[in-house]
Amino acid sequence: MKLIYRIALRLSLLLLPLMAVWAVIFYFTMVREINDEADDALENYSEVLILRILGGERLPDASDGSNNSWSVTEVSEEYAAGHPAISYHDTEVYIPEKRETEPARVLVTIFPDRDGKWRELRVAMPTFEKEDLQATVLRWVVILYLLLLATAVGTTLWVFRKSMQPLYALLDWLDGYKPGGRAAPVPNSSDISEFRRLSEAAQQAVDRFENMLEQQKQFIGNASHELQTPLAVLQGRLEYMVDNAGLSEEMLAEASRMQSTLSRIIRLNRTLLLLAKIENGQFPERRDMDIVALIREQEEMYAEIYAAKNIRCDVRLPESFMLRINESLASVLVSNLLKNAWVHSPEGGSIGISLEGRTLDISNDGGSPLDAGRIFDRFYKSGDREGSTGLGLALVRAAADCSGISVSYDFSGGRHHFRAEF
């Protein structure tokens, strides 16, 4: 979930109970205020009535257009003593003019008249309908909530986007970052100190990483170089022994095995050097090459070398395909892909080589799919094949990366497919 949506969601959820509490407080405050007003009016009215009753004046008609109604009843002294002098309450009264019952505020007061008799005056005044008020308040609270939400979220989003601009710039930069590539510097144009620090931290991390990568490359290169001389000594001594020691057949077979192991170390070392060189971009010159001619030449060679495996080869290639590429890299790419197919084909299996459009597809029979995410990694080996350096496909990827070619692997129809998009 994007941060911005998370913020919007939290804002909405937080505003909901806040608005509810606010609505409740607002409602009760308003009801109290209205009752206060009504009570004041009732008190005034009742005072007028009481004065008139005491003065023996004519009392106002019950229906004087004010919707107020009143009644006076005589009560006993005990009743007067047991009730407060003035009390208010809400009730429903029937308004004859309107022919309906309406909510009303009622004032009940008990007073002695001129003769010392207790009388109870009830004055009723129609007030608002609570349900109506509640509905209105609820409606407006909802409207207000939505409005407030829209405003709050909208403002937040705008402010957020504005303020987070440097973060998105940094994220875009990180998305486009490729280790070992000549990357542009980390964007750091913000004047917000947190973002400046973040950018600086990212720059430092990237620098450190690049530095380590460089050191690692150099280390592999140097280590391989340092190994060349001892390997030369070892190889020379072995040869000298074979040439001059008059070894028995058994010992010669042993020496041959030593030679093949040694050759494997030498090859591994040489391949690591080649890989380091490719990754260091030491094959810059490019020229126009016919890839088809290269593939045909290599295909014939492997067919000869691996003739004993009886592999059927299905070649579908156009007349020619010109590509601007470094010659050595093209050779590394094609030859390792082809070698891979021949080496990993079972005996009597089949290999398919096709070039359609700009896609070279090299496929061979295989049992189960390989890990597509790791197959181009160094020393990723599907099985323990003796003599394999585990670097062939790493070379392919390095050569492809250097030449702007994308290589991919997938498994379909019981076959391994390696594709290169030129």
Partner 1 sequence: MKILIIEDEPSLRELMERSLRKEQHVVETARTYAEAEDKLAVYAYDCVLLDIMLPDGDGLRLLGELKSSGRKEAVIIISARDSLEDRIRGLEDGADDYLPKPFHLAELSARIRSVARRTMGGGRSGITLGNVTVEPESFRASVGGRELPLLKKEFDILSYFMQRPGHVIDKAVLAEAVWGDHVDQADNFNFVYSQMKNLRRKLEEAGATIEIKAVYGFGYKLVEN
Q: Which residues bind partner 1 (CB under 8 A)?
A: 225-226, 228-229, 231-237, 239-240, 242-244, 249-250, 252-253, 255-256, 259-260, 263, 266-267, 270, 273, 277, 282, 298, 301-302, 304-308, 328, 335, 339, 343, 385, 387-389
Of 239 and 356, CB closest to partner 1: 239
Tell me how far, at minimum, the Cβ of 369 lies from partner 1, in Å.
Answer: 22
Tell me how far, at minimum, the Cβ of 235 lies from partner 1, in Å.
Answer: 5
Contact at 8 Å (CB) between 187 and 173?
Answer: yes
Tell me how far, at minimum, the Cβ of 404 lies from partner 1, in Å.
Answer: 21
Tell me how far, at minimum, the Cβ of 356 lies from partner 1, in Å.
Answer: 25
Tell me how far, at minimum, the Cβ of 380 lies from partner 1, in Å.
Answer: 16
Contact at 8 Å (CB) between 61 and 67?
Answer: no
Contact at 8 Å (CB) between 118 and 112?
Answer: yes
State the amino acid at position 183 in one-letter form. A
3-state secondary structure of 362: strand
Of 184 and 307, CB closest to partner 1: 307
Of 69 and 336, CB closest to partner 1: 336
**Which DSSP state fits 119?**
E
Q: How many CB atoms lie within 10 A of CB 416?
A: 23
Of 60 and 221, CB closest to partner 1: 221
Q: What are the angstrom distances between the C-alpha of 1 and each of 82, 304, 417? A: 68, 57, 36
Tell me how far, at minimum, the Cβ of 365 lies from partner 1, in Å.
Answer: 17
Tell me how far, at minimum, the Cβ of 411 lies from partner 1, in Å.
Answer: 22
Q: Which of 149, 151, 142 is nearest to 10 (CA)?
A: 149
Q: Which of 299, 400, 276 is nearest to 353 (CA)?
A: 299
Q: Put residue 91 in one of left, alpha, beta given phi > 0 → left and psi -120 to 50 → alpha.
A: beta
DSSP string, 21-33: HHHHHHHHHHHHH
Spatial separation of the C-alpha atoms in residues 418 and 281, rounded to whole Å: 24
Of 64 and 304, CB closest to partner 1: 304
Of 49 and 276, CB closest to partner 1: 276
Of 301 and 323, CB closest to partner 1: 301
Q: What are the angstrom distances between the C-alpha of 36 and each of 29, 32, 144? A: 11, 6, 27
